Chain A
């Protein structure tokens, strides 16, 4: 299939190197913390892009997987005092279980059922966290989680490595025959059927992969914040992720990750604007929808590197 060109590999290595070394120049725990969140958003955005960007089935409730991954870590570490290293694989498993729960009934249907079901499911789970507050801690959520790695800088490097692995794995999958099928599904499902392809199967498996990485990111986030709370399930989280993918350029995966990092940094810089921050986000989304339907990061990178290909 499409080979990944050397210039893309070089670009990737440079970006990862800059990110890895960034905390060395301005050694502050604050910056390390922000960069950790950047990398986690990168995992969420690229995992959203893998399923929805490639198959065109827009998932409006990625926070469902993020939240279930995070709460799995929360329950394990804070209530059952399990080793934090168990949180990661179990967060993945639980998120995948939820992807089957929503994906199985809705992905075999045409129409907007999947998008609506994802949005509803994440909203309902957020409510359930508040309703069953005896178990979930209600508004405050669960706290007192154990850190995975005590040294914040080392934890940042760990998360960054996972982001790199996520982007590489998802990019390779997207460029494989498998990814070709997912893009074909985006194009025309009836033709895929006529080509003997079981489209529902491929959509569900791609959602499972997407959910798995999102749940992993959720568990990583929980062990960074050392607490989990219901807003993890909120529509705002899902939308933030989608805006990142839009800015990055839908279906590019690496673009989503880079956009996630840049936008998270930008959000930190805009912290002074307080309540207006989300407004700025929403406005960005509207402007992109109208003026840059192909996104910003990936098209820009392709333009810049055109002559090296």
Chain B
């Protein structure tokens, strides 16, 4: 029982980190970013290159990896997505092209074999008789801290207020003198950064390989549809639902069946309440 509680929380935290960035950039800039999974994969690979190949200490490598990927996201938004923003279809196509290009680039550079990243914390902890690796616990703690930080950032800072304003009404925000394009860049950086952080954190205990971004992205879609496109609290709730139901399914039936959970969740949501749990309101 306790095992489900802890492992479910870890999955939920990772999913939430992925989904929040995906829904944020949609809510604010109306960009449906199909390259979101690439950020996750790039984060993991950046951690691998920095630690295993260049020998950079982990506590420097992790933030560095996040920064690199955030920069990649900003460049992608500025030079590839922004010129095509007038057409929703073109945005979908270009972000998809980016995700394929990234996957192929990783494949060509690193080959398809699995890569290993050393653990940040080697210790195993025991909570109430349940063994859990320190790395998983770190992912959980980091996830919660990131979400909390993001919430405070948006609620308490001027920049956060501007992001909120753009998500509610981009045109009005522009009239009020908010530089929407700069906001898009910032949100893209946050979105790419959180996804990369998730990739960095899971890299020691999940397999690092070129196609690793696709499935988490599908999960992010599912979460965002269940939670409501563009709603951050909705995607956090949906992350919890999905994280826990997958853990329960894995525990009770078999881990092979977990892939079906997100599919069922999406279909049920679309049938019963297509706008998602929290509907399509502002980002917060």
B240 within 8 A of A: no
> 4 nearest interchain CB pairs?
A105-B270, A131-B256, A282-B101, A120-B218
Say whether B80 faces chain A, with CB atoms less than 8 Å apart: yes
A25 within 8 A of B: no
With contacts A115-B92, A246-B93, A290-B83 known, is A124 near B104, CB below 8 A?
no
Question: Given A127-B215, A282-B97, do A289 and B92 touch, yes or no (CB 8 Å)?
Answer: no
Residue of B nearest to A277 (CB): B104
Q: Which of B9-17, B129-137, B258-266 contacts A (4 or more CB under 8 A)?
A: B258-266
If the complex has contacts A275-B107, A279-B104, A293-B90, are A105 and B96 also in contact, measured as CB distance less than 8 A?
A: no
In the complex with contacts A109-B270, A275-B108, A276-B108, A131-B94 CB distance below 8 A: no
B93-115 interface code vs A (CB 8 A; 1 in, 0 out): 11011001100110110000000
How many A-B residue contacts, CB cutoff 8 Å? Answer: 96
Q: Is the CB of B259 within 8 A of A124?
A: yes
B88: chain A residues at CB < 8 Å are 112
User: With A and B bound together, what is the CA distance between A283 and B104 in angstroms?
Assistant: 11
Chain B residues whose C-beta falls within 8 Å of the C-beta of A131 in the assembled complex: 256-257, 259
Please, how many angstroms separate the alpha-carbon atoms of A65 and B222 in the complex? 20
Partner of A111, one of B34, B105, B107, B229: B229
A105 touches B221 (CB 8 A): no
B274 within 8 A of A: yes
**A289: chain B residues within 8 A (beta carbon):** 84, 90, 93-94, 97
Q: Which residue of B lies closest to A121 (CB)?
A: B263
Question: Which A residues touch B108, using CB under 8 A?
Answer: 275-276, 279
By the criterion CB–CB under 8 Å, are A286 and B263 in contact? no
| Interface: B54 (CB within 8 A) | no
Across-interface contacts of A119 in B (CB, < 8 A): 34, 218, 221
* CB pair A123 B218 closer than 8 Å: yes
In the complex, whether A226 has a CB less than 8 A from a CB of chain B is no
Q: 15 A-B residue contacts at CB 8 Å?
A: A56-B89, A60-B34, A109-B270, A112-B88, A116-B221, A117-B225, A120-B221, A235-B214, A239-B97, A239-B100, A278-B100, A282-B104, A285-B93, A286-B101, A289-B84
Known A-B contacts A56-B89, A282-B101; the reply to A120 vs B259 at CB < 8 A is no
Query: How many chain B residues have a CB neighbour from A under 8 Å?
Result: 38
Q: Taking the nearest CB of chain A, how far is it from the CB of B31, in angstroms?
A: 11
Smallest Cβ-Cβ distance to B26: which chain A residue:
A112
Q: Is B267 an interface residue (CB 8 A)?
A: yes
Residue B32 lies at the interface, judged by CB distance under 8 Å to chain A: yes
- Give every chain B residue within 8 A of A111 (Cβ-Cβ): 229
**B-side contacts of A278, CB under 8 Å:** 100, 104
Q: Is the interface of B mostly helix, strand, loop or mixed?
A: helix
Which residues of chain A from 85 to 128 have a CB within 8 Å of any chain B CB?
Answer: 105-106, 109, 111-113, 115-117, 119-121, 123-124, 127-128
CA distance A116 to B262 in the complex (A): 13
Q: How far is the CA of A111 from the CA of B225 in the complex (A)?
A: 11
Query: For the complex, is A236 an interface residue (Cβ under 8 Å from B)?
Result: yes
Q: Is B271 an interface residue (CB 8 A)?
A: yes
**How long is the Cα–Cα vector from A282 to B100 in the complex, in angstroms?**
7
B96 to A: closest C-beta gap in Å? 6
| In the bound complex, CA of A264 to CA of B244 (Å) | 45
Q: Is the CB of B92 within 8 A of A120?
A: no
A115 proximity list for chain B (CB < 8 A): 32, 92
A55 to chain B, nearest CB (A): 12
* Contact pattern, A 287-298, Cβ under 8 Å of B = 1, otherwise 0: 001100100000
Q: Is A189 an interface residue (CB 8 A)?
A: no
Cross-chain contact B266 with A60 (CB below 8 angstroms): no
Taking CB as reference atom, which chain A residue is nearest B89?
A: A58
In the assembled complex, which residues on chain B have CB atoms less than 8 Å from the CB atom of A286?
A: 80, 94, 97, 101
Contact across chains for B101 and A105 when beta carbons are under 8 A apart: no
CB distance from B254 to the nearest CB of A (A): 9
Complex Cα spacing A184 to B83, Å: 27
Are A239 and B96 also in contact (CB < 8 A) when A128-B259, A278-B104 are? Answer: yes
Instruction: Provide the residues of chain B in CB contact with A276, threshold 8 Å.
Output: 108
Contact B259 A60 (CB under 8 A): no
A222 within 8 A of B: no
Closest Cβ neighbor of B268 among chain A residues: A105
